[in-house]
A and B are shown apart, each in its own frame.
Chain A
Amino acid sequence: MDGPMRVLVTGGSGLVGRAIERVVKEGEGREGEEWIFLSSKDANLMSAEETRSVFQKHRPTHVIHLAAMVGGLFRNMRQNLDFWRNNVFINDNVLQTAHEFGVVKVVSCLSTCIFPDKTTYPIDETMIHNGPPHESNFGYAYAKRMIDVHNRACCQQYGRRYTAVIPTNVFGPHDNFNIEDGHVLPGLIHKTYMAKKEGKALQVWGSGRPLRQFIYSLDLARLFLWVLRDYDEVEPIILSVGEEDELSIKDAVNAVVEGMEFKGDVIYDTSKADGQFKKTASNAKLRKYLPDFKFTPFKAAMKETCDWFEANYDIARK
């Protein structure tokens, strides 16, 4: 491929998309490169025609594919068919149109939540298809897994090297902070904000003991760019801090409390479920490629996110 990249980012207005936009602006973009960040306002990617139009308009050489229908636990449980079908359409449209328009590389976004429900730990990149996913979001999970099937089949039939990344728990500015629908960290940040504002106690669901690996969206964004430029495998790659940096939910709560300067009581409602105790993912493959990559220290990343949320409360998605 001659000349600089023209990169189309689908789902560009989301948590990860905004982080990529920021790191590109702040120095990761190269001379002559063009970066286009799409949102659902620009095209409904469930439609083949609209997807084609947006590719015709921008003629990208590369694609970072983040767009998806995502939702919280309860919505997933009620609408497994919609999560399956809509995501399959989005993914097939983007991947097939990319191939037809001669896109050199597509990097899609999977998740550790799509891995087999019954599995050994730590999980690694070879294990995605080794058994059924958790019952609560199997529609979403299978649709994401099929991105990897499509990538492998596209390589086998056409030699394309489209690939995917597998983040663990992502957090940062521009997240979905809806307390019912959002994930654990944005949920904690929003609840702490409200507790502080209303002078009430912070109520945390569960015992605080489960362990998780968290990745700051800006670190993930830097890694996405490395994958786009330099990672040549079709097999996906887990992007996460190592097992040694697993934190308990209580550690996360303490970091949020510190980040928000919350002075009130913190109550752990142990009648609520903890969910899985450990979901450890191995980042050995990442470390093999990038032994020296430095993740932003968790407390600093959390402080940045809390500051952003307080400064942008009115426009935050919630």
Chain B
Amino acid sequence: MDGPMRVLVTGGSGLVGRAIERVVKEGERREGEEWIFLSSKDANLVSAEETRSVFQKHRPTHVIHLAAMVGGLYRNMRQNLDFWRDNVHINDNVLYMSQEFGVVKVVSCLSTCVFPDKTTYPIDETMMHNGAPHESNYGYAYAKRMIDVHNRACFQQYGLRYTAVIPTNIFGPHDNYNIEDCHVMPGLVHKTYLAKKEGKPLEVWGSGRALRQFIYSVDLARLFVWVLREYDEVEPIIASVGEEDELTIKDAVDAVVEGFGFKGEVIYDTSKSDGQIKKTASNAKLRKYLPDFKFTPFKAAVKETCDWLAANYDIIRK
């Protein structure tokens, strides 16, 4: 491929898309490169025709594919068919149009939540298809897994090296902070903000003992850009801090409390489920490629996120 990249980012207005936009602006962009951030306003990617139009308009050389139908636990459980179908359509449209338009590389976004429910730990990149996913969101999970099937089949038939990234728990600015629908970190951040504002205790669900690996969206964004430029495998790559940096939910709560300077009571409602105690993912492959990559220290990343939420409360997705 001659000349600089023209990168189309689908799902550009989301948690990861905004982080990529920021790191590109703050120094990752190279001379002559063009980065286009799409949102659902620009095209409904469930439609093949609209996807084609947007590819025709922008003629990208590269794609970072983040767009998906995502939802919280309860919505997933009620609408497995919609999560399966809409995501399969989005993914097929983006991957197929990329191929048609001669896109050199597509980097899609998977998740550790699509891995087999019954498995050994730590999980690694080779294990994704080794069993059925969790019952609560199998529609979403299978649709994401099929990105990897499409990538491998596309490589086998056409030699294209489209690939994917598998993050663990992402957090940062521009997240979905809806307390019922959202993930654990944005939920804690939003609840602590409200507790502080209303002078009430912070209520945390569960015992706080469950362990998780968290990755700051800005760090993930830097890794996405590295994968786009340098990672040559079709097999996906887990993007996460290492096992040694697993934290408890209580550690996360403490960091959020500190991030807001919250002085009120913290109550752990142990009648609520902890979910899985451990979901450890191995980042050995990432470390093999980038032994010196520095993740933003957790407390600093959480502070940035809390500050952002407080400054932008009116416009956040909630």
- Residues of chain A touching chain B, judged by Cβ–Cβ distance below 8 Å, are 77-85, 88, 92, 96, 129-132, 138-139, 142, 146, 149-150, 152-154, 156-158
B156 A81 Cβ-Cβ under 8 A: yes
A152 B80 Cβ-Cβ under 8 A: yes
Q: A149-B142, A152-B138 in contact; A139/B81 too (CB < 8 A)?
A: no
Which residue in chain A gives the minimum CB-CB distance to B131?
A130
Q: Which of B81, B92, B149 contacts A157 (CB 8 A)?
A: B81
Q: Indicate if B78 sits at the interface (CB-CB under 8 A).
A: yes
Q: Give Cα A84 to B132, complex, Å.
A: 19
B153 A153 Cβ-Cβ under 8 A: no
Neighbouring B residues of A84 by C-beta, 8 Å: 149-150, 153
Listed from nearest, the 9 A-B pairs whose CB atoms lie closest are A80-B153, A153-B80, A153-B81, A81-B153, A157-B81, A81-B157, A132-B129, A129-B132, A139-B153
Which residue in chain B gives the minimum CB-CB distance to A48?
B48
CB distance from B103 to the nearest CB of A (A): 15
Q: Indicate if B139 sits at the interface (CB-CB under 8 A).
A: yes
A150 B153 Cβ-Cβ under 8 A: no
Q: Give Cα A92 to B129, complex, Å.
A: 21
Q: Which of B78, B81, B130 contacts A154 (CB 8 A)?
A: B81
Q: Which of A79, A130, A149, A158 contacts B157 (CB 8 A)?
A: A79
Q: Indicate if B88 sits at the interface (CB-CB under 8 A).
A: yes
Q: Give Cα A83 to B156, complex, Å.
A: 12
B153 A149 Cβ-Cβ under 8 A: no
Neighbouring A residues of B82 by C-beta, 8 Å: 157
Neighbouring B residues of A77 by C-beta, 8 Å: 156
B149 A142 Cβ-Cβ under 8 A: yes
Neighbouring B residues of A138 by C-beta, 8 Å: 149, 152-153
Which residue in chain A gives the minimum CB-CB distance to B128?
A132
A81 B81 Cβ-Cβ under 8 A: no
Which residue in chain A gives the minimum CB-CB distance to B138?
A149
CB distance from B83 to the nearest CB of A (A): 8
Q: Give Cα A158 to B80, complex, Å.
A: 10
Q: Give Cα A211 to B60, complex, Å.
A: 52
B80 A157 Cβ-Cβ under 8 A: yes
Neighbouring B residues of A80 by C-beta, 8 Å: 152-153, 156-157
Neighbouring A residues of B84 by C-beta, 8 Å: 149-150, 153
Q: Give Cα A31 to B181, complex, Å.
A: 52
B150 A153 Cβ-Cβ under 8 A: no
Q: Indicate if B146 sits at the interface (CB-CB under 8 A).
A: yes
- Residues of chain B touching chain A, judged by Cβ–Cβ distance below 8 Å, are 78-85, 88, 92, 96, 129-132, 138-139, 142, 146, 149-150, 152-154, 156-158
B138 A153 Cβ-Cβ under 8 A: yes
Which residue in chain B gives the minimum CB-CB distance to A133?
B129
A132 B130 Cβ-Cβ under 8 A: yes
CB distance from A49 to the nearest CB of B (A): 12
Neighbouring B residues of A157 by C-beta, 8 Å: 78-82
CB distance from B139 to the nearest CB of A (A): 5
Neighbouring A residues of B88 by C-beta, 8 Å: 88, 92, 146
B131 A129 Cβ-Cβ under 8 A: yes
Neighbouring A residues of B131 by C-beta, 8 Å: 129-131
Q: Which of B83, B139, B158 contacts A81 (CB 8 A)?
A: B158
Neighbouring B residues of A88 by C-beta, 8 Å: 88, 92
Neighbouring A residues of B80 by C-beta, 8 Å: 152-153, 156-157
Q: A78-B157, A80-B152, A81-B153 in contact; A156/B92 too (CB < 8 A)?
A: no
A and B contact pairs by CB, cutoff 8 A, 15 listed: A80-B152, A80-B156, A81-B158, A130-B130, A130-B131, A138-B152, A146-B146, A149-B138, A149-B142, A150-B81, A152-B80, A152-B138, A153-B138, A156-B80, A157-B79
Which residue in chain B gives the minimum CB-CB distance to A146?
B142
Q: Other than A80-B152, A88-B88, A130-B130, give 10 A-B pairs with Cβ distance below 8 A.
A: A81-B150, A88-B92, A139-B153, A146-B88, A146-B142, A146-B146, A150-B84, A152-B138, A153-B80, A154-B81
Q: A88-B88, A142-B146 in contact; A158/B132 too (CB < 8 A)?
A: no
CB distance from B162 to the nearest CB of A (A): 11
Which residue in chain A gives the minimum CB-CB distance to B154?
A81
Neighbouring B residues of A153 by C-beta, 8 Å: 80-81, 83-84, 138-139
Q: Give Cα A80 to B146, complex, Å.
A: 13
Q: Give Cα A154 to B78, complex, Å.
A: 10
Which residue in chain A gives the minimum CB-CB distance to B80?
A153
Q: Give Cα A142 to B139, complex, Å.
A: 14
Neighbouring A residues of B152 by C-beta, 8 Å: 80, 138
Which residue in chain A gives the minimum CB-CB distance to B141?
A149
A85 B81 Cβ-Cβ under 8 A: no
Q: Give Cα A152 to B142, complex, Å.
A: 12
Q: Give Cα A129 to B152, complex, Å.
A: 18
CB distance from A163 to the nearest CB of B (A): 15
Q: Give Cα A139 to B130, complex, Å.
A: 16
Which residue in chain B gives the minimum CB-CB distance to A99?
B81
A139 B132 Cβ-Cβ under 8 A: no
CB distance from A106 to the nearest CB of B (A): 14
Neighbouring B residues of A132 by C-beta, 8 Å: 129-130
B92 A85 Cβ-Cβ under 8 A: yes
Q: Which of B85, B139, B150 contacts A96 (CB 8 A)?
A: B85
